[in-house]
C-alpha cells in the first residue's frame, strides 16, 4: 500500500495552482475538468515519485468551516519537508510568502509555518540530522 494523493482544500484552484507552481516550485501533474471544478494536482520535484498534492476545491460549507477553524487556531493543514530550511525560508520570504515567525528548533525538527494564500497554513520542516 502507498500514499498516492494528499489533498489541501483551496478557495480558488487557479490561485492555488499559481502559488504552488510559481512560488513553491511544484509542477502541475493533472488538470482535468470535473463538473464546475477541476481535478488539479501538483508534484514536488524533490518529493516521492508518484505522490501528488490535490488542490481540492471547497464546494461545501463544512469544508470551509473546517479550513477556517484550522487557520484561525494556527494549525497547519499539512507539512512539507526540506533539507535546507534556512535557504527555503529566505527564498520563499523574498518571493512574498507570509511566515508566522522564524524557523525554530523543536527537538528532532526545525520548523516554521507559512500561509499558502489559499486559506491554509503549511508547516515547513527540516528533520535534525
Average pLDDT on 81-109 reads: 97
Three-class SS of residue 68? helix
Give domain limits for the chain: 5-127
Average pLDDT on 91-113 reads: 97
Three-class SS of residue 61? helix
Contact indicator for 118, 12 with CB cutoff of 8 Å: yes
| Fold designation for 5-127 | 2,3-Dihydroxybiphenyl 1,2-Dioxygenase; domain 1 (3.10.180)
From the number of C-beta atoms within 10 Å of its C-beta (0-12, 13-18, 19+), residue 32 rates as: exposed
| pLDDT tens by residue, 17-65 | 999 999 999 999 999 999 889 999 999 998 888 899 999 998 889 999 9
Cell numbers for 115, please give them.
Answer: 500561509
Three-class SS of residue 6? strand
Whole-number Å distance between alpha carbons of 87 and 97? 14
Amino acid at each position: 500500500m502507498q500514499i498516492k494523493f494528499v489533498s489541501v482544500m483551496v478557495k480558488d484552484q487557479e490561485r492555488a495552482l499559481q502559488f504552488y507552481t510559481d512560488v513553491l516550485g511544484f509542477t502541475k501533474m493533472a488538470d482535468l475538468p470535473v463538473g464546475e471544478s477541476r481535478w488539479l494536482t501538483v508534484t514536488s520535484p524533490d518529493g516521492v515519485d508518484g505522490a501528488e498534492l490535490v488542490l481540492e476545491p471547497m464546494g461545501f460549507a463544512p469544508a470551509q468551516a473546517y479550513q477556517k477553524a484550522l487557520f484561525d487556531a494556527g494549525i497547519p493543514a499539512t507539512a512539507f519537508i526540506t533539507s535546507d530550511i534556512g535557504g527555503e525560508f529566505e527564498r520563499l520570504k523574498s518571493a512574498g510568502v507570509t511566515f508566522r515567525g522564524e524557523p525554530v528548533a523543536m527537538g528532532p525538527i526545525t520548523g516554521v509555518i507559512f500561509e499558502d494564500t489559499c486559506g491554509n497554513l503549511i508547516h515547513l520542516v527540516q528533520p535534525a540530522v
